[in-house]
Amino acid sequence: MRHIAIIGSGPAGYYTAEAAQKQWGDDVRVDVFDMLPVPYGLIRTGVAPDHQSIKGVSKRYEATALSDNVRFVGNVMIGKDLSVAELQKLYDAVVIATGAPHDRKLDLPGENLGNVYGSAAFVGWYNGHPLFADLDPDLTGDTAVVIGMGNVALDVARILSKSRAEFAGSDIVAHALDVLDTSRIKRIVVLGRRGPHQIMMTPKELGELSHLTRAAPRVDPADLPEEGEDALLEPGLRKSVNHLRSFAAIPESHYADYGIEIEFDFFASPKALIGTDKVEGIEVERTKVEAGRAISTGETYIIPAGLVVACIGYRSSPIPDVPFDEREGKFANDEGRILPGLYCVGWARRGPSGTIGTNRPDGFSVVEKIAEDIASGTLGHGGKAGRAGFDSLAAERGLDVVTFRDWKKIEEAENARARAGAPREKFVDVAEMIAARR
């Protein structure tokens, strides 16, 4: 019997569990740990609440979680409740699948002013992540600046634009809906330090901006390169740029019908956040792009803004005694191998890029590495205590483990208290989640 511990129950974790099942069938036992009492990581607290079809992938993870040889071990934090070294004594292989839950820093003056948030915090707030449920952003200023030209920036701009009615069928948490109702934002500036040909936004997500009831996108036609240059782009990016071209063609009269403008500000690199306690504006430097790189021009301007959300990427959370690549913000690894018997997968391995589905081949690839290491004898010859060993240690330490069956009760309670038309109303507090399983 092989015993595998996976730290993190998001997409990377469950795809790895699925791959382990396919590889070893009945000869493997997999424990999937999560520091929260609820599973699915990014699917629950990262994917936008109005993208329910993407969240539907959790049904696939549930099928894995419900099989006899995979177990969910919630409410246990590795690195605090027990160490990676202790896990390694109990399991043949330990796989870190903790994603990249922290914001990359802007490293700019004024970054710590009030109402300046990173996307991990802001997205966590409207998705009900217990760590960020208390964020309470102030949306009463008339301008918000969203930094970054990726899909997370689009998520944030879209969520800030939608009316309550447009959240029908979503699982946005009640506290966020209530604050969004107080919003007086009229202008959302999406700031990109490079140009339209360098955006990271995908076509479907950009296209959604054309279907908002009270917001319309605005692109300055002067920012777009000659149309002929689009031919050199890869097809997905070309489609995205087509959306930008259609936004640039919107007649001025159209905006009178919309209360909110989502304005793309290209060639604009943030320099400083301005304000005394709360942010009041952002200083930006005009750039030009040469050979794909942003070059300073020395020209600066200020955008007055009452809210700034930096959507500029994420970092993994280091775990004591596990080698970490500080520069890249992910675990130091060679194709998923960290140390003998210790692996990483998903964003913890490769950094925050790709779609949810990218994690599937990642999961299969790390299991292949484990199989190779078993075959070469690097992982010893089995005989580890596995889940029985963990259970004894958990009892000794008085850990309050939340099982998958417990999670199903929590889920039932969340579904039962959903507002009309919504799939669920999430608990945003760990104690409430734990109480709901009883």
Residues near ligand NAP (CB under 6 A): 106, 147-153, 155, 192-194, 198, 200, 202, 205, 270, 311-313, 352-355
Nearest approach, Cβ of residue 112 and ligand NAP (Å): 16
Quote the least distance from Cβ 125 to ligand NAP, whole Å: 16
* Amino acid making up residue 296: S
Residue 35 beta carbon to ligand NAP: minimum distance, rounded to whole angstroms: 21
Judged by beta carbon, residue 137 or residue 352, the one nearer ligand NAP is 352
CB of 392 to ligand NAP, least distance (A): 39
CA distances from 398 to 91, 93, 343, 403 (A): 20, 24, 28, 15
User: What's the rounded Cα separation, in Å, for the pair 68 and 17?
Assistant: 12
Across-strand partners of 275?
279
Q: In whole angstroms, how close is the CB of 90 to ligand NAP at the nearest point?
A: 33
Q: In whole angstroms, what separates CA 276 from the centre of its chain?
A: 30
Q: Tell me how far, at minimum, the Cβ of 269 lies from ligand NAP, in Å.
A: 6
- Shortest Cβ distance from residue 57 to ligand NAP (Å)? 12
Taking CA 281 as the corner, what is the angle to CA 277 and CA 286, rounded to the nearest 5 degrees? 145
Report the Cα–Cα distance between both ends of the chain, in Å, rounded.
33
d(CA 62, CA 277): 45
- Give min distance, CB of 3 to ligand NAP, in A: 32
User: Minimum distance from CB of 339 to ligand NAP (Å)?
Assistant: 27
Report helix, strand or coil for 202: coil
CA 357 to chain centroid, in Å, comes to: 14
Q: What is the DSSP string of 193-234?
A: SS-GGG----HHHHHGGGG-SSEEEE--GGGSPPGGGGGGS-
Of the pair 83, 198, the CB lying nearest ligand NAP is at 198
- Which of residues 95 and 154 has its CB atom nearest to ligand NAP in the complex? 154
The residue number whose beta carbon is nearest to ligand NAP equals 150
Q: Name the residue nearer to ligand NAP (CB basis): 235 or 377.
A: 235
d(CA 206, CA 224): 16
Q: Which is nearer to ligand NAP, 271 or 337 (CB)?
A: 271
Q: Where are the alpha helices (DSSP H) in 211-317?
A: 235-248
Query: To the nearest whole angstrom, how small is the minimum distance from the Cβ of residue 105 to ligand NAP?
Result: 9
Give 312 or 402: the residue with its C-beta nearer to ligand NAP: 312
DSSP one-letter code for 225: P
Which residue number, 76 or 159, has a Cβ lying nearer to ligand NAP?
Answer: 159
- Hey, CA dihedral for 49, 54, 58, 59, is it positive or negative? positive
Nearer to ligand NAP, 21 or 316 (CB): 316
| Residue 147 or 342 having the CB closest to ligand NAP | 147
Q: Which residue has the tokens 């998903």?
A: 346
Phi-psi region of 257 (alpha: psi -120 to 50; beta: other; left: phi over 0): alpha
Residue 198: CB minimum distance to ligand NAP, A: 6
E-strand spans in 69-131? 70-74, 93-96, 102-103, 116-118
For 297, the 3-state DSSP assignment is strand
User: Any residues with CB less than 8 A from the CB of 215 and at least 6 apart, and which?
Assistant: 161, 162, 188, 209, 258, 259, 260, 261, 262
Of 74 and 352, which has the nearer Cβ to ligand NAP?
Answer: 352
Rank residues 323 and 361 by Cβ distance to ligand NAP and give the closer one. 361
Collapsing DSSP states into helix, strand and coil, what is residue 289?
Answer: strand
**Measured CA distances, 246 to 152, 234, 298, 300 (Å):** 21, 18, 31, 28
